[in-house]
Chains A and B, each alone.
Chain A
């Protein structure tokens, strides 16, 4: 998930009877499957939760440029380079739509950046892992974009209109990314033994972090229950993780790879795989900022922002000058 463990500000989910008329009408509209639009009344906690979730999602898209950008200059063919450039450009575009969706809730993009740079806002844990070989670029497309799709497809039905609509556009592109990632690996496993080993190594390193993307079990979480009541979350983390494993394991088999989980086993009764627990201790460390690449990723984003200050100020100053020239000499500007 690009948005992990989003808090909702509540201690319990209110029943309709507990609500004031305004909120009750709002909740009933959500239950009737109607979309909430920016100018409409919404509970403050709903607004805040969405800002957290959408901005976290947006930050993940832009921080996510870094691990993949790491291989653009080393892509092995011109075609692979072009595909990767296009993918990373898509991810930046996703960031842009999502920031715009969040802005409809009354927060500016600069404020969201400020929250990212100060560490107040999070981004997905997955982007704090390093990309060490070309196979990692395939693995990210296959697993990371794959896990993102699992989460984002239901979000197309999210109750908040601008977020749901952004998701429709984003999901189409994410499916391309997943196929392209799989294609990188499919080509490599048919290649030399060294290439095949590279792919297995990538799966070994990316499998567990990908499962962690869905977040820890949230069956008992009040935040999750509230998000579900608001329809900004449709499935539990465990449900999505199960779906992801069930979809991905046959693909790993097809590639001739071994999923690095000794407990992985088909369970005929449930019609899905049984699998082991990710290392949640590692997950919480990474979320807390202690992962291998946290400092580098956040440092790179802060540096880009700080180094670019003169550029943004220059553009603003020019716009102000142009405006002043227009108002002082209207005849000349016509």
Chain B
């Protein structure tokens, strides 16, 4: 097994990055699966389950590699089920509650647009293990983005009510998008080593997709005001504890059990 050495010599910053990728997928997949059986159309139930399924599959890959890089014998399941909220590294955007279907779709779109840009960049990562995961995930996420983008346009430019709901969703979620593009010293180290793109560098491509889509949807792009952050370093919203209480229940209640 060849482990690409990271700039800091140990795997800490890489471990950190891999958890971020895995946790974003895990928490968003969790939120989507809350819709199961409650979506506004049968086709949407199927599509949401499909997206959630892709995200859980990606979680297994990212967190599996994270555990390997950490080198302490932790599996993807150990990381998903036995870390507490402060150890989770997902952005705040993905832990936002589902709200109405419009909010769920807007959250999905804003995330998908970023997700595809970063995965496309990661396909040429200097670490082949990362490039391989990104290659597979990018194909899935391209489809997620096609879908969420299309629905944003149709609902933005639909009835007065669907327009209002989509604008409201956009305004509410916008302050959670800034975090996606803020790098820290670990990001800078990995970027310098050609392992990841610098988070800041993804903003241009994201702006293009989001800008075009919102224009076509006749939605007004909010001004870039104050942005929330913290998830990437483990400081979450109050929602996170409840997500984990639910998700980790069996592993916590029956610590010696295998399933």
Contact = CB atoms under 8 A, between A and B. Distances in A.
Interface stretch (B138-146, B150-158, B171-179): B150-158
A5 B90 CA distance: 50
A77 B76 CA distance: 9
Contacts, number: 150
B161 A65 contact: no
A75 B251 CA distance: 9
Interface string A305-321: 10111111111111101
Interface in B10-29: 26
Contacts of A86: 49, 53
B92 to A, nearest CB: 19
Contacts of B36: 65-66, 69, 72, 85, 88
Nearest to B57: A82
B162 A85 contact: no
A261 B52 CA distance: 40
Interface string B60-85: 10010000000000001100110000
B159 A317 contact: yes
A79 B61 CA distance: 11
The B interface, classified by DSSP as helix, strand, loop or mixed, is helix
Contact of A314 (B49, B63, B81, B162): B162
Contacts of B161: 310, 313-314
Given A74-B246, A313-B158, A99 B42 contact: yes
Contacts of B59: 78
Interface in B229-247: 246-247
A318 B60 contact: no
12 contacts: A73-B247, A76-B259, A78-B59, A89-B49, A184-B259, A187-B258, A304-B37, A304-B40, A307-B100, A311-B41, A313-B161, A317-B158
Contacts of A192: 254, 256-257
Contacts of A316: 158
Given A72-B33, A195-B254, A311-B101, A62 B42 contact: yes
Nearest to B105: A311
Interface residues on B, range: 35 or more
Contacts of A304: 37-40
Nearest to A66: B37
The A interface, classified by DSSP as helix, strand, loop or mixed, is helix
A300 B101 contact: no
A43 interface: no
Interface stretch (A90-98, A149-157, A212-220, A229-237): A90-98
B197 interface: no
Contacts of B50: 89
B158 to A, nearest CB: 3
A312 B154 CA distance: 10
A180 to B, nearest CB: 13
Interface string A50-74: 0000000000001101100100111
A6 to B, nearest CB: 22
A318 B158 contact: yes
Interface string A295-334: 0000011011101111111111111010000000000000
Given A78-B80, A79-B60, A314-B158, 17 more contacts: A73-B34, A74-B246, A77-B77, A78-B26, A82-B56, A85-B33, A89-B49, A134-B250, A308-B39, A308-B41, A310-B165, A312-B41, A313-B158, A313-B161, A314-B162, A314-B163, A317-B158
A108 B251 CA distance: 45
B49 to A, nearest CB: 4
A178 B250 CA distance: 22
Shortest Cβ-Cβ A-B pairs, 10 listed? A308-B40, A314-B162, A314-B158, A69-B36, A65-B37, A89-B49, A76-B259, A76-B250, A318-B154, A311-B40
A150 B61 CA distance: 38
A73 B254 contact: no
A163 to B, nearest CB: 18
A96 B33 contact: no
A57 B139 CA distance: 35
Contact of A311 (B49, B77, B102, B250): B102
B101 A308 contact: yes
Contacts of A305: 40
Contact of A195 (B154, B246, B257): B257
A89 B53 contact: yes
A300 to B, nearest CB: 6
